[in-house]
Amino acid sequence: MREGGRTLSAQSPNATTTTAAANSTTTNQSGAGGPLGQSTTKEPASQQASEGLANIAHWWLEWFKDWGFPQDVAKLLLTILVLIVTWYASKYVTQMLGRRVARRFRRPSVSRTVLRIIRMSVYGVGILFIIVYIYGINGTNIVLSVTVFSAMVGVVLAPIVGSVISGLFVLADQPYEVGDMIELAETGQRGFVEDITIRYTKIFTLENTFLVVPNGSMRERDVINHSAEDTRTRYTLDIGVTYESDIEKARTLIENAAREIDGVIQGGPDIRIGSSRYPAAPTCFIDQFANSSVKLRLRYWTRDPYKPLTMRSRIQEAIWKRLEDVDVELAYPHSHVVFDETSGELNVNMTQESTVEDRPPRAPAEPEADD
Protein backbone atom coordinates (compact mmCIF):
# COMPACT_ATOMS: atom_id res chain seq x y z
CA MET A 1 0.00 0.00 0.00
CA ARG A 2 1.45 3.30 -1.08
CA GLU A 3 0.51 6.55 0.63
CA GLY A 4 2.23 9.83 -0.12
CA GLY A 5 5.26 8.16 -1.63
CA ARG A 6 5.68 5.94 1.39
CA THR A 7 5.17 2.25 1.49
CA LEU A 8 3.33 0.97 4.54
CA SER A 9 3.89 -2.61 5.53
CA ALA A 10 0.95 -3.98 7.52
CA GLN A 11 1.38 -7.18 9.51
CA SER A 12 -1.07 -8.73 11.83
CA PRO A 13 -0.19 -9.27 15.48
CA ASN A 14 -0.73 -13.02 15.12
CA ALA A 15 1.86 -13.24 12.40
CA THR A 16 4.41 -11.47 14.57
CA THR A 17 3.74 -13.81 17.47
CA THR A 18 3.98 -16.87 15.27
CA THR A 19 7.30 -15.76 13.86
CA ALA A 20 8.74 -15.14 17.34
CA ALA A 21 7.56 -18.53 18.50
CA ALA A 22 9.15 -20.16 15.49
CA ASN A 23 12.42 -18.37 16.14
CA SER A 24 12.30 -19.43 19.78
CA THR A 25 11.65 -23.01 18.79
CA THR A 26 14.50 -22.98 16.34
CA THR A 27 16.82 -21.56 18.98
CA ASN A 28 15.83 -24.17 21.55
CA GLN A 29 16.26 -27.00 19.09
CA SER A 30 19.65 -25.80 18.05
CA GLY A 31 20.84 -25.38 21.63
CA ALA A 32 19.31 -28.50 23.11
CA GLY A 33 21.79 -30.87 21.64
CA GLY A 34 24.93 -28.91 22.31
CA PRO A 35 27.27 -27.33 19.80
CA LEU A 36 27.01 -30.21 17.35
CA GLY A 37 23.35 -30.98 17.93
CA GLN A 38 24.15 -34.20 19.83
CA SER A 39 21.85 -35.63 22.57
CA THR A 40 23.08 -35.22 26.16
CA THR A 41 20.49 -37.30 28.08
CA LYS A 42 21.68 -37.85 31.65
CA GLU A 43 21.91 -41.36 33.04
CA PRO A 44 20.24 -42.25 36.40
CA ALA A 45 22.38 -41.77 39.47
CA SER A 46 22.09 -45.46 40.40
CA GLN A 47 23.44 -46.51 37.02
CA GLN A 48 26.31 -44.06 37.27
CA ALA A 49 27.19 -45.37 40.73
CA SER A 50 27.04 -48.96 39.48
CA GLU A 51 29.36 -48.15 36.61
CA GLY A 52 31.74 -46.38 38.96
CA LEU A 53 31.91 -49.39 41.29
CA ALA A 54 32.46 -51.69 38.34
CA ASN A 55 35.33 -49.50 37.14
CA ILE A 56 36.91 -49.57 40.60
CA ALA A 57 36.72 -53.36 40.76
CA HIS A 58 38.15 -53.66 37.21
CA TRP A 59 41.01 -51.28 38.04
CA TRP A 60 42.01 -53.27 41.12
CA LEU A 61 41.84 -56.56 39.24
CA GLU A 62 44.06 -55.15 36.50
CA TRP A 63 46.44 -53.82 39.13
CA PHE A 64 46.82 -57.28 40.69
CA LYS A 65 47.26 -58.79 37.24
CA ASP A 66 50.06 -56.32 36.50
CA TRP A 67 51.87 -57.75 39.50
CA GLY A 68 51.74 -61.17 37.90
CA PHE A 69 48.81 -62.73 39.78
CA PRO A 70 46.40 -64.97 37.86
CA GLN A 71 42.80 -63.86 37.53
CA ASP A 72 41.45 -66.21 40.21
CA VAL A 73 44.15 -65.19 42.67
CA ALA A 74 43.53 -61.53 41.86
CA LYS A 75 39.82 -61.97 42.64
CA LEU A 76 40.66 -63.70 45.91
CA LEU A 77 43.07 -60.94 46.95
CA LEU A 78 40.54 -58.25 46.05
CA THR A 79 37.86 -60.13 48.04
CA ILE A 80 40.11 -60.16 51.11
CA LEU A 81 40.85 -56.47 50.65
CA VAL A 82 37.14 -55.63 50.39
CA LEU A 83 36.36 -57.64 53.54
CA ILE A 84 39.06 -55.80 55.49
CA VAL A 85 37.81 -52.43 54.28
CA THR A 86 34.23 -53.44 55.12
CA TRP A 87 35.20 -54.44 58.65
CA TYR A 88 36.95 -51.13 59.33
CA ALA A 89 34.11 -49.21 57.68
CA SER A 90 31.49 -50.90 59.88
CA LYS A 91 33.55 -50.14 62.98
CA TYR A 92 33.94 -46.49 61.97
CA VAL A 93 30.25 -46.07 61.14
CA THR A 94 29.10 -47.57 64.46
CA GLN A 95 31.50 -45.36 66.40
CA MET A 96 30.38 -42.28 64.49
CA LEU A 97 26.66 -43.02 64.96
CA GLY A 98 26.88 -44.57 68.42
CA ARG A 99 26.14 -41.43 70.45
CA ARG A 100 23.38 -40.28 68.13
CA VAL A 101 21.65 -43.64 68.31
CA ALA A 102 22.05 -43.74 72.11
CA ARG A 103 20.45 -40.29 72.40
CA ARG A 104 17.66 -41.26 70.04
CA PHE A 105 16.86 -44.58 71.75
CA ARG A 106 17.05 -44.37 75.52
CA ARG A 107 16.89 -48.13 76.03
CA PRO A 108 20.36 -49.78 75.75
CA SER A 109 18.92 -52.96 74.24
CA VAL A 110 17.26 -51.06 71.37
CA SER A 111 20.29 -48.86 70.68
CA ARG A 112 22.57 -51.91 70.59
CA THR A 113 20.21 -53.66 68.19
CA VAL A 114 20.10 -50.62 65.89
CA LEU A 115 23.90 -50.44 65.84
CA ARG A 116 24.08 -54.15 65.04
CA ILE A 117 21.68 -53.65 62.13
CA ILE A 118 23.83 -50.78 60.84
CA ARG A 119 26.95 -52.90 61.12
CA MET A 120 25.31 -55.81 59.32
CA SER A 121 24.12 -53.43 56.60
CA VAL A 122 27.70 -52.33 55.96
CA TYR A 123 28.74 -55.98 55.80
CA GLY A 124 25.91 -56.62 53.35
CA VAL A 125 27.10 -53.83 51.06
CA GLY A 126 30.62 -55.24 51.05
CA ILE A 127 29.42 -58.78 50.31
CA LEU A 128 27.15 -57.49 47.55
CA PHE A 129 30.11 -55.64 46.00
CA ILE A 130 32.11 -58.86 46.03
CA ILE A 131 29.33 -60.91 44.46
CA VAL A 132 28.33 -58.46 41.73
CA TYR A 133 31.46 -56.53 40.79
CA ILE A 134 34.25 -59.02 41.49
CA TYR A 135 32.70 -62.35 40.53
CA GLY A 136 30.17 -60.89 38.10
CA ILE A 137 27.07 -62.72 39.31
CA ASN A 138 24.08 -61.04 37.69
CA GLY A 139 20.72 -60.22 39.22
CA THR A 140 19.02 -63.40 37.97
CA ASN A 141 21.50 -65.60 39.80
CA ILE A 142 21.14 -63.48 42.92
CA VAL A 143 17.36 -63.85 42.85
CA LEU A 144 17.75 -67.60 42.38
CA SER A 145 20.22 -67.75 45.27
CA VAL A 146 17.87 -65.77 47.49
CA THR A 147 15.04 -68.15 46.58
CA VAL A 148 17.14 -71.18 47.48
CA PHE A 149 18.29 -69.51 50.66
CA SER A 150 14.71 -68.70 51.62
CA ALA A 151 13.73 -72.33 51.16
CA MET A 152 16.66 -73.39 53.33
CA VAL A 153 15.62 -70.88 55.99
CA GLY A 154 12.09 -72.24 55.97
CA VAL A 155 13.25 -75.84 56.44
CA VAL A 156 16.49 -75.74 58.41
CA LEU A 157 16.66 -72.36 60.12
CA ALA A 158 13.05 -72.08 61.27
CA PRO A 159 13.98 -72.12 65.00
CA ILE A 160 16.46 -69.29 64.48
CA VAL A 161 13.92 -67.24 62.57
CA GLY A 162 11.38 -67.86 65.33
CA SER A 163 13.94 -66.73 67.90
CA VAL A 164 14.58 -63.55 65.90
CA ILE A 165 10.86 -62.77 65.79
CA SER A 166 10.61 -63.44 69.52
CA GLY A 167 13.55 -61.09 70.04
CA LEU A 168 11.68 -58.33 68.28
CA PHE A 169 8.72 -58.91 70.60
CA VAL A 170 11.03 -58.84 73.64
CA LEU A 171 12.46 -55.50 72.51
CA ALA A 172 8.97 -54.12 71.91
CA ASP A 173 7.30 -55.45 75.09
CA GLN A 174 10.16 -54.36 77.38
CA PRO A 175 9.78 -57.05 80.07
CA TYR A 176 13.35 -56.39 81.21
CA GLU A 177 16.27 -54.19 80.26
CA VAL A 178 20.05 -54.40 80.24
CA GLY A 179 21.23 -54.12 83.85
CA ASP A 180 18.02 -55.45 85.43
CA MET A 181 18.13 -58.34 87.87
CA ILE A 182 15.74 -61.06 86.77
CA GLU A 183 14.83 -64.51 88.01
CA LEU A 184 13.66 -67.52 86.01
CA ALA A 185 10.68 -68.78 87.98
CA GLU A 186 11.01 -72.38 86.77
CA THR A 187 14.64 -72.88 87.78
CA GLY A 188 15.08 -70.17 90.43
CA GLN A 189 18.19 -68.83 88.69
CA ARG A 190 18.93 -65.16 89.27
CA GLY A 191 21.21 -62.82 87.44
CA PHE A 192 21.74 -59.50 85.74
CA VAL A 193 20.79 -58.99 82.11
CA GLU A 194 24.07 -58.49 80.29
CA ASP A 195 22.83 -58.18 76.71
CA ILE A 196 19.63 -58.49 74.67
CA THR A 197 19.88 -59.31 70.98
CA ILE A 198 17.22 -60.26 68.48
CA ARG A 199 18.21 -63.92 68.94
CA TYR A 200 19.03 -64.45 72.60
CA THR A 201 19.26 -62.91 76.07
CA LYS A 202 22.54 -63.16 77.96
CA ILE A 203 22.25 -63.30 81.77
CA PHE A 204 25.20 -62.87 84.13
CA THR A 205 24.19 -65.11 87.04
CA LEU A 206 25.00 -64.55 90.70
CA GLU A 207 27.24 -67.63 90.53
CA ASN A 208 29.57 -65.73 88.15
CA THR A 209 28.46 -67.68 85.09
CA PHE A 210 26.82 -66.68 81.82
CA LEU A 211 23.39 -68.01 80.94
CA VAL A 212 22.39 -67.62 77.30
CA VAL A 213 18.66 -68.21 76.71
CA PRO A 214 17.01 -68.01 73.25
CA ASN A 215 14.34 -65.34 73.10
CA GLY A 216 11.80 -67.92 71.99
CA SER A 217 12.30 -69.70 75.29
CA MET A 218 12.29 -66.44 77.25
CA ARG A 219 8.85 -65.54 75.90
CA GLU A 220 7.45 -68.87 77.14
CA ARG A 221 8.93 -68.61 80.64
CA ASP A 222 7.80 -66.76 83.73
CA VAL A 223 10.41 -64.08 84.34
CA ILE A 224 10.55 -62.14 87.62
CA ASN A 225 12.08 -58.68 87.25
CA HIS A 226 13.53 -57.49 90.57
CA SER A 227 14.68 -54.16 89.14
CA ALA A 228 11.54 -52.97 87.40
CA GLU A 229 10.41 -49.45 88.29
CA ASP A 230 10.87 -49.60 92.09
CA THR A 231 13.77 -51.64 93.50
CA ARG A 232 12.16 -51.94 96.93
CA THR A 233 11.28 -55.58 97.49
CA ARG A 234 9.38 -57.32 100.25
CA TYR A 235 10.56 -60.61 101.73
CA THR A 236 9.15 -62.96 104.35
CA LEU A 237 10.77 -64.97 107.14
CA ASP A 238 8.95 -67.73 109.06
CA ILE A 239 9.88 -68.30 112.71
CA GLY A 240 8.41 -70.88 115.09
CA VAL A 241 8.24 -70.36 118.88
CA THR A 242 6.91 -72.68 121.56
CA TYR A 243 3.42 -72.41 123.00
CA GLU A 244 4.89 -71.54 126.38
CA SER A 245 6.62 -68.41 125.00
CA ASP A 246 5.38 -64.85 125.35
CA ILE A 247 4.02 -64.41 121.83
CA GLU A 248 3.52 -60.65 122.01
CA LYS A 249 7.06 -60.08 123.27
CA ALA A 250 8.41 -62.41 120.57
CA ARG A 251 6.69 -60.41 117.83
CA THR A 252 8.08 -57.12 119.17
CA LEU A 253 11.63 -58.45 119.49
CA ILE A 254 11.56 -59.89 115.97
CA GLU A 255 10.37 -56.58 114.47
CA ASN A 256 13.05 -54.62 116.38
CA ALA A 257 15.75 -57.06 115.28
CA ALA A 258 14.82 -56.55 111.63
CA ARG A 259 14.94 -52.75 111.98
CA GLU A 260 18.58 -52.91 113.10
CA ILE A 261 19.83 -54.32 109.79
CA ASP A 262 21.25 -51.92 107.21
CA GLY A 263 19.30 -52.08 104.00
CA VAL A 264 15.98 -52.88 105.68
CA ILE A 265 13.43 -50.07 105.47
CA GLN A 266 12.78 -49.10 109.10
CA GLY A 267 9.58 -47.14 108.57
CA GLY A 268 8.02 -44.22 106.77
CA PRO A 269 4.98 -43.88 104.51
CA ASP A 270 3.15 -46.99 103.42
CA ILE A 271 4.39 -48.56 100.22
CA ARG A 272 1.79 -48.67 97.50
CA ILE A 273 1.46 -51.67 95.20
CA GLY A 274 -1.37 -51.24 92.75
CA SER A 275 -4.42 -50.21 94.71
CA SER A 276 -3.11 -51.61 98.03
CA ARG A 277 -0.83 -50.10 100.63
CA TYR A 278 1.51 -52.02 102.90
CA PRO A 279 3.45 -50.87 106.00
CA ALA A 280 7.02 -49.97 105.19
CA ALA A 281 8.35 -50.99 108.64
CA PRO A 282 8.98 -54.67 109.49
CA THR A 283 5.85 -56.37 110.78
CA CYS A 284 5.47 -59.74 112.47
CA PHE A 285 2.18 -61.66 112.35
CA ILE A 286 0.90 -64.92 113.82
CA ASP A 287 0.72 -67.19 110.82
CA GLN A 288 -0.73 -70.37 112.28
CA PHE A 289 -0.89 -72.65 115.29
CA ALA A 290 1.11 -75.67 114.20
CA ASN A 291 1.55 -79.04 115.91
CA SER A 292 4.81 -78.21 117.65
CA SER A 293 5.00 -74.40 117.53
CA VAL A 294 3.30 -71.10 116.95
CA LYS A 295 4.46 -69.96 113.53
CA LEU A 296 5.24 -66.27 113.21
CA ARG A 297 5.78 -64.58 109.86
CA LEU A 298 8.04 -61.53 109.52
CA ARG A 299 7.55 -59.25 106.52
CA TYR A 300 10.20 -56.66 105.74
CA TRP A 301 11.15 -54.39 102.85
CA THR A 302 14.67 -53.94 101.49
CA ARG A 303 16.08 -51.19 99.29
CA ASP A 304 18.52 -53.49 97.53
CA PRO A 305 16.98 -56.68 96.10
CA TYR A 306 20.29 -58.11 94.93
CA LYS A 307 21.40 -59.79 98.20
CA PRO A 308 18.35 -61.54 99.65
CA LEU A 309 20.24 -64.37 101.34
CA THR A 310 22.66 -61.99 103.04
CA MET A 311 19.81 -59.89 104.41
CA ARG A 312 17.95 -62.96 105.64
CA SER A 313 21.05 -64.28 107.40
CA ARG A 314 21.68 -60.97 109.17
CA ILE A 315 18.08 -60.74 110.34
CA GLN A 316 18.09 -64.29 111.70
CA GLU A 317 21.35 -63.65 113.54
CA ALA A 318 19.90 -60.51 115.16
CA ILE A 319 16.75 -62.41 116.17
CA TRP A 320 18.82 -65.21 117.71
CA LYS A 321 20.75 -62.76 119.88
CA ARG A 322 17.64 -60.92 121.05
CA LEU A 323 15.77 -64.07 122.07
CA GLU A 324 18.58 -65.51 124.19
CA ASP A 325 17.77 -63.67 127.43
CA VAL A 326 13.97 -63.42 127.24
CA ASP A 327 11.10 -65.74 127.93
CA VAL A 328 10.84 -66.81 124.31
CA GLU A 329 12.04 -70.16 123.03
CA LEU A 330 12.47 -71.15 119.43
CA ALA A 331 10.53 -74.31 118.75
CA TYR A 332 11.78 -77.49 117.18
CA PRO A 333 9.84 -80.64 116.29
CA HIS A 334 9.42 -83.03 119.26
CA SER A 335 6.95 -85.68 120.37
CA HIS A 336 5.47 -86.81 123.74
CA VAL A 337 4.56 -90.47 124.23
CA VAL A 338 1.60 -90.89 126.64
CA PHE A 339 0.34 -94.20 128.07
CA ASP A 340 -3.11 -94.45 129.61
CA GLU A 341 -5.52 -97.21 130.58
CA THR A 342 -6.32 -97.88 126.94
CA SER A 343 -2.72 -98.37 125.89
CA GLY A 344 -2.29 -101.94 127.22
CA GLU A 345 0.72 -103.23 129.17
CA LEU A 346 4.41 -103.11 128.43
CA ASN A 347 6.87 -105.23 130.48
CA VAL A 348 10.13 -103.42 131.08
CA ASN A 349 13.15 -105.03 132.77
CA MET A 350 15.41 -102.43 134.39
CA THR A 351 18.09 -104.89 135.65
CA GLN A 352 21.53 -105.11 134.15
CA GLU A 353 21.75 -107.39 131.18
CA SER A 354 23.64 -110.56 131.98
CA THR A 355 26.75 -111.52 130.05
CA VAL A 356 27.31 -114.71 128.18
CA GLU A 357 29.39 -116.27 131.03
CA ASP A 358 26.58 -115.64 133.57
CA ARG A 359 23.97 -117.37 131.51
CA PRO A 360 23.17 -120.99 132.52
CA PRO A 361 24.22 -123.62 130.00
CA ARG A 362 21.54 -124.72 127.64
CA ALA A 363 20.49 -128.35 127.98
CA PRO A 364 21.35 -130.49 124.98
CA ALA A 365 18.48 -131.37 122.79
CA GLU A 366 17.17 -134.93 123.13
CA PRO A 367 17.78 -137.11 120.11
CA GLU A 368 14.73 -137.99 118.11
CA ALA A 369 13.48 -141.54 118.49
CA ASP A 370 13.91 -143.84 115.56
CA ASP A 371 10.80 -145.50 114.29
| Tens digit of each residue's pLDDT (9 = 90 or more) over 179-230 | 888 888 888 888 888 888 878 888 988 888 888 888 878 877 888 888 777 7
Q: Produce one character per residue of 72-88: b if its CB has 16 or more CB atoms within 10 Å, e if not.
A: eebbebbbeebeeebee
**118-153 tens-digit pLDDT:** 888 888 888 888 887 777 776 555 555 666 566 655
Contact 217, 187 (CB under 8 A): no
In terms of DSSP H, where are the helices of the chain?
Answer: 13-32, 45-66, 71-104, 108-129, 139-155, 158-173, 215-220, 247-259, 308-322
Return the bridge partners of 237, or none: 298
Alpha-carbon distance of 176 to 224, in angstroms, equals: 9
For 48-68, write each residue's pLDDT tens digit.
Answer: 777 777 788 788 888 877 888
Instruction: Tell me whether residue 41 is exposed, middle or buried, using C-beta atoms within 10 angstroms of its C-beta: 0 to 12, 13 to 18, 19 or more.
Output: exposed
Q: Provide the pLDDT confidence category of residue 298 given band limits of 50, 70 and 90.
A: very high
> For residue 162, which of 218, 94, 84 has the smallest C-alpha distance?
218
What is the reported pTM?
0.49
**Residue of 243, 310, 312, 229 lying closest to 271 (CA atoms):** 229
pLDDT at 167: 73
Angstrom distance (rounded) from CA 347 to CA 339? 13
